[in-house]
Amino acid sequence: MKRVTPLTCALALALPNLPANDSLPGAPQASPVLLRGGTVHPVAGEPFEGFVLFAGGTIIGLGPGDGAGFEGADDARVIELEGRHVYPGMIAANSALGLTEIRAVRASLDVAEVGGINPNARAEVAVDPDSELIPVTRSNGVLHALAVPQARGLIGGTSALMALDGWTWEQMAARAPVGMHLRWPAAARPPGVGGADAEAAKKSREAAAEARRDLRAAFDSARAYLDAKAAGVEGARTDLRWEAMASVFAGEVPLFVHADRLGEIGEAVRFCAERDLAMVLVGGGADVARAAPLLKRAGVPVIISAVNDLPGRRWEAYDAPMRVPLALHEAGVTFCIAGRGNTFSAANERNLPYEAARAAAFGLPRAEALKAVTLSAAQILGVGERLGSLESGKEATLIVTDGDPLEVTTRVERAFIAGREVDLSNKQTRLYEKYREKYRRGD
């Protein structure tokens, strides 16, 4: 121990002083809560002036009026909401939240495993409940986030839907796994595009073709392994990578394919159709809109990875990414709106409502924009029966605001996750109070 202690101390001192939020997780709901006197926006129906009553983390009643006489209302803690609004909590459907903290500090990044084929990697076990980014995100009404493995190769592993409150990742996990994530090999650019010469374009084509062969080989190997196991072949060694693929082949876990370009999207749809795999497209840019007829025919839902973005090509209109939600809506494609979902954007997941607002500003009906970050996201992630709207029997995961949450001037005043009231303070609100007091004093 005398030899171990100095070494342990030296290692501890060498590690960076990583931040950790000091917010206490919400306590389980102990008694019924009655929110009344505000405007309720159920998303699944029209807004109304009325009440929401929940107990044991579940909505047990809502409707016009003040809830008087409703079973359970007499014993409820009453919160008056005159002039306020009640919405379901928003869901970030493509995120690295909890997997990354400070990009310049390697010790705070736990986003991907080594190697290109890692279907057995699980995002939920790497989520840091003490991340400073979590309280900042939920203070703007985002109460769930899909933790997505950031693959360095082709198959990154499975994602998990995490509630943004809890002591441990086990408490935070709302559903795991949600999807198996695959980064489709990027299509080669022709010579002259992006400064590529003929030789570079040739190498790019060859690399993309090799990656596609590796991908097909991986799926074929997984299928052969599982078939051999089902047949009771003796002597076969357990392979955790292919074990993790069983739920994908069974249709229990969809394949979330990350692709942006039209050619890549078409290849991915054909790949999944050939193997009878359930697919969800995660992508952004104008090509997602161009692929709308194909996606509609194939029944592929879309997670739009960014709306407030720049066009991908010089000749595209400046608002091309911003009109993708409208194009998918008009084509009848199921979709939701999310952020970029990478280590760069984890600190900006709080801006999710403004991604939806940008889509509304460029033609998407406002009700659909709100649905795209609530109910539609919940349905695509497989939790539509529990989250995404305010309905009797669903989880009491909701926010109370002083206005439209898609407006930047709106403040989220209260938030509940499964009936637990959560702390909306965070590092940024504390800095605001600190410097407001500084100027109040005139220091």
In 3D space, the residue among 419, 417, 441, 438 whose CA is nearest the CA of residue 141 turns out to be 417
pLDDT digits (tens, 9 = 90+) for 239-279: 999 999 999 999 999 999 999 999 999 999 999 999 999 99
What is the structure's pLDDT at 15? 46
Which secondary-structure segment (H or E) carries 201?
helix 198-230
**Whole-angstrom Cα distance, residue 174 to residue 184?**
27
- Structure tokens, 334: 């199921």
DSSP 8-state assignment for residue 128: -
Of the two residues 11 and 50, the one the predictor is more confident about is 50
Q: Which pLDDT score, from 0 to 100, does residue 370 have?
A: 98
Q: Which of 150-159, 209-218, 384-393 has the lowest mean pLDDT?
A: 150-159
308-324 mean pLDDT: 93
The stretch 429-437 carries a mean pLDDT of 90
Per-residue model confidence (pLDDT) at position 7: 44
The percentage of residues in the chain with a pLDDT greater than 70, rounded to a whole number, is 93
Tell me the residue ranges of DSSP E strands in 149-254.
155-158, 160-163, 173-175, 180-183
pLDDT band at 54 (very low <50, low <70, confident <90, very high): very high
Task: Calculate ∠ Cα 229-235-238, nearest 5°.
Answer: 55
Q: For residue 346, is pLDDT > 60?
A: yes
Among the listed residues 113, 108, 97, 114, the one whose alpha carbon sits nearest the alpha carbon of residue 164: 97
Residue 5 main-chain phi, psi, to 5 deg: -60, -50
Question: Alpha-carbon distance 215 to 208, whole Å?
Answer: 11
Note the pLDDT of residue 1: 38
* Whether pLDDT at 202 is above 50: yes
Q: Is the pLDDT of residue 167 over 80?
A: yes
Which among 338, 340, 250, 259 is positioned nearest to 294, based on CA atoms? 259
pLDDT tens for 27-44 read 999 999 999 999 999 999
Helix %, strand %, coil % of the chain (to 5): 35, 20, 45
CA–CA separation, 39 and 320 (whole Å): 34
* Mean pLDDT on 150-176: 92
Per-residue pLDDT, 336 = 98
The count of other CB atoms within 10 Å of the CB of residue 438 is 10
Is residue 316 scored above 80 in pLDDT?
yes
**What value does the mean pLDDT take over residues 102-115?**
76
Instruction: Check whether 334 has a pLDDT greater than 50.
Output: yes
Contact status, residue 180 vs residue 256, Cβ threshold 8 Å: yes
pLDDT at 306: 87
The CA-atom distances, in angstroms, between 82 and each of 59, 105, 381 are 20, 46, 34
Q: Look at residues 79, 173, 47, 61 and name the one whose alpha carbon lies nearest to residue 416.
A: 79
In this prediction, residue 115 has a pLDDT band, given cuts at 50, 70 and 90, of confident
Q: State yes or no: cis peptide before 135, omega within 30 of 0.
A: no
Q: Which domains does the chain have, with CATH numbers?
A: 21-89+388-443 (2.30.40.10), 90-385 (3.20.20.140)
pLDDT band at 19 (very low <50, low <70, confident <90, very high): low
Q: What is the pTM of this model?
A: 0.91
As a whole number, the mean pLDDT across the chain is: 90
The confidence score (pLDDT) of residue 293 equals: 97
Radius of gyration of the chain (CA): 24
